[in-house]
Chain A
């Protein structure tokens, strides 16, 4: 710690500011500074991000090249620090660029999705979560650009630029986004995250399973997808195991597992394996995947708890039926994973004439306008004709297309692919034998005729090694401490605490078993401040907001203003004051104004996504006859009309409607259009009318 971070960062900043064109020596020089000062990575990353944000548009691209050079040549910890805000950094810059520069940026993004060339590390430069978010946003921008062309807008010009940027500054990234990004940095938190969110969100939002019935989706190249998937899964398992091992170095099982996993990883990288054996490995890995982390809490049910009879009957009676639609969401993944091995490799043929269809399918889902009724012509451009019914009612209209975009913007590509590949793989397989409730043992697997190709001996050994190890649900694997949460769960919490009497003697009794109530009971820890959250959906939501808050607080914009100590509030205000901490659903930004302005603000904050229907999109506000202004809203991850409200199929300015409705005595629709955000519904449901001083 010889030189303070600030000094290094200042040097770096100076060098950055001289960078005005794409000059290789200068970029190399900056990369070397970064490489030699990895202990100040955070400060340097911060400097780089703020430079990209602050500098003139024409100098942004060289700075982005510096970022690119650093993450590719130095790698961690820069990938971690820069990945955290990459979405914002990238999109902020992208939005102010001209078209050719955008092309260059898209090129950069493409390389980030791949491993570093000539590197041993099979992982992409940035995790798919990060790049997936950006990709989604870019897709949406493209589609809206095309959409707005008929409105005589220059092809590549964006809707009001400054407003869009202001929106970036003032609004937090969507909570799920922040959580995802942070989660992806921290292997311990990551494990339980994406699957739960994905699957938990998915079934209710899918109107009908129709798309899956489409034949082309069955022909996807399973093996290649699987290989990538598998590699990431293995990498994740390794990091999970390492984590567990760090906490529990004495556990020989863990050690063995770790060794096996690492060997497996090298094998995957070096040898070409048949699709079938790949899948077998994947099954095993999946069963291993939810490792008890540092704070062992069973995250989801072990395979044993899956009720298979139901599935059997369904599968037997009507194989092509898409089962997940009715089954509980989380189990499906496991179940499918379990079901895979005995399946004949129907889906193996890697010859995939219709590969692009999968991509199209994805795009279609993420493009909000198209409900399931859209023909399978898989363009993501809007249909030329209007789709009146969904848009005609004020509340439902946005709600119908909403679920898909709400879930997808942050969804990473690989996961989506996984989702699509699973149902596609499942139905065509005529299941001839009972599905084993447990992961099938290797001998069983090998003895099955359909398994294509000989499994390499090393692979067999590895699978065995992985298989004999206990999986998550079994307590034998857990650390000594881990048995405590179990006992806690089995008995009612009150009774445990009742034993702690308030007497001097009772205070001296050691009750180490209760300590888990302070640690393991809240296993989801914030890495930057140490605050713990429950490992429940509510806990995750809270943590997501908490991470958002951290993000907001770190905004370099804040540091430029002079900050003062505020006056203390008066006695009366204090008595009426309610704590709104950073994890409570209320956005503190809504609360700082008085009641009168709060109402007005509410009306102004209403927005509708830009309608896909060209006729409606051209129409002005029916009250004031002025056109709406399109702008990009980060929260919605979509282009929206701010200060707009949709009533009876028509869109009005929310403030106009408010005045009109007041005069006419019509109540404002109680559900604001924010409902389209799906996930953020919870935040809106509590009206922010009261006086709530900012609780930073």
Chain B
């Protein structure tokens, strides 16, 4: 039993599959409690089909004899009972791993279920879960697995994504929350937000805020948005009985687990705002020991269970290049749909004067404000600067806030997002902006916010 962190990372490929002739269809038998891990780049596709037995992809069960197509995915198909898979297409790498962390994840689920049963009896709020850990530790994977298991058990958990690097039901750079009452999609990340037609997998209804920065800073935007999100989520759960007993699961960015000399300000902020009572630490021993020490002596009614889960051997470092491609795919999917569900976005043009665009100030350092919390909530004037369109904003995303153009900057910051538009082209001579909007209609007069993240997506519209 190798228990040293990091040591078992490379040791997994117990049974490397010799990748046979390209795109040949082959079958793969999986013994019980093993998983088939694969990486597919964005230029290739891999199709999996469950021939017999049971199998699940990040906790969501695969339907028998249905084909699932993956593109730009690093994932694993796990089986509790053993199964036979039909695999076709090309994978960049694939192997069968016999040592997995699924039992730990399932135990985590059962422990949460026990809490949910109790809260259902007492009509109180179910478990409030926060998942922390460094980058590429499998936080989102754990969040999805726990969500899928909870949905399978008939619960309706709320999922909150505070990681700007990867969108959940929206584009990267956003914070979202949604209750999951129906099956989590297998092929398309977390699934899809509502569209004007039917979707083969039930859509989820997200609440979206725009963050617009790559990493959580300690100051102007992250904390206020966390507070805002916590307010919305808790007020919804107060009335929403089905989700209340199921509680919520928060996926966090890896950045907040870095900490400064053992102090994790953003984690503490999330825990206090959301009244988190279960904290799953993935991987990092140090983070675990720091946090469990911090939350060891709390009164029982505010107790925080700090639990460490092993990082899965299947977690691979995702290169910046891959992450960028993933983000672009998410943005593309927002406008154009995913797979066979093509959407029809709408091109429209607007005059410079029609648009009120705010850009998040580049100086995201908090030196001007000082680290004391009082200042954070004070209205600031230098949060955004209003810009006039120029060729420099071509290819960037604009968040359509629900605030009006004349609102105060902190109101704009705290307002939820109605959707995103993409700046396709700018004619500086005619002072016209060509925009790609998800829907036809008038150009919104709301305040538009442009962040520095996600980066520009070139040639979304050809």
Task: Please list the residues of chain A having a beta carbon within 8 angstroms of any beta carbon in chain B.
Answer: 1, 246-247, 481, 493-494, 497-498, 500-504, 506-512, 514-515, 517-519, 522, 525-532, 534, 549, 552-553, 555, 558-559, 561-571, 574-583, 693-696
Contact = CB atoms under 8 A, between A and B. Distances in A.
Q: Do most interface residues of chain A lie in helix, strand or loop, or is the interface mixed?
A: loop
Given A519-B81, A558-B197, A568-B193, A563 B337 contact: yes
Given A512-B80, A565-B334, A696-B198, 8 more contacts: A481-B81, A517-B153, A527-B63, A530-B61, A553-B198, A566-B194, A571-B415, A581-B202
A522 B152 contact: yes
Contacts of A500: 107, 110-111, 114
A420 B359 CA distance: 77
B22 to A, nearest CB: 13
A149 to B, nearest CB: 41
Contacts of B66: 528-530
Interface stretch (B254-262, B338-346, B370-378, B427-435): B338-346
Interface string B306-342: 0111100000000000000000000000110100011
B195 A564 contact: yes
B110 A565 contact: no
Given A504-B307, A579-B179, A579-B242, A561 B197 contact: yes
Interface residues on B, range: 35 or more
8 nearest CB pairs, A to B: A530-B63, A497-B114, A565-B438, A563-B197, A579-B181, A562-B344, A553-B198, A581-B181
B104 interface: yes
A574 B207 contact: yes
A59 B181 CA distance: 44
Contact of B153 (A518, A529, A558): A518
Interface stretch (B232-240, B379-387, B388-396): B232-240
Given A502-B111, A553-B199, A567 B418 contact: yes
Interface string B37-68: 00000000000000011100000111111100
A565 B307 contact: no
A425 to B, nearest CB: 40
B88 interface: yes
Interface of B: 25, 33, 52-54, 60-66, 80-81, 88, 103-104, 106-108, 110-111, 113-115, 117-118, 149, 152-154, 156, 170, 177, 179, 181-183, 193-203, 205-208, 232, 235-236, 239-240, 242-243, 278, 288, 305, 307-310, 334-335, 337, 341-346, 400, 402, 415-419, 438-440
A246 B84 CA distance: 12
A579 B307 contact: no
Contacts of B177: 574
A235 B243 CA distance: 44
A83 to B, nearest CB: 17
A236 to B, nearest CB: 19
26 contacts: A500-B110, A507-B108, A507-B307, A511-B106, A512-B103, A517-B113, A517-B153, A518-B152, A525-B63, A532-B152, A562-B344, A563-B197, A563-B341, A564-B343, A564-B345, A564-B440, A565-B193, A565-B194, A566-B194, A566-B438, A568-B416, A574-B206, A574-B416, A575-B232, A579-B181, A581-B202
B205 A695 contact: yes
B106 A514 contact: yes
A571 B344 contact: no
B205 A579 contact: yes
Nearest to A495: B114
B54 A519 contact: yes
Nearest to B292: A504
Contacts of A579: 156, 179, 181-182, 205, 240, 242-243
Contact of B235 (A493, A529, A534, A575): A575
Contacts of B195: 563-566, 696
Nearest to B25: A1
Contact of B111 (A506, A575, A693): A506
B117 A502 contact: no
A507 B280 CA distance: 11
A482 to B, nearest CB: 12
Contact of A497 (B103, B110, B400): B110
A226 to B, nearest CB: 34
B54, B309, B334, B335: most-surrounded residue (chain A CB, <10 A): B54
A582 B439 contact: no
Contacts of B153: 517-518
A493 B120 CA distance: 14
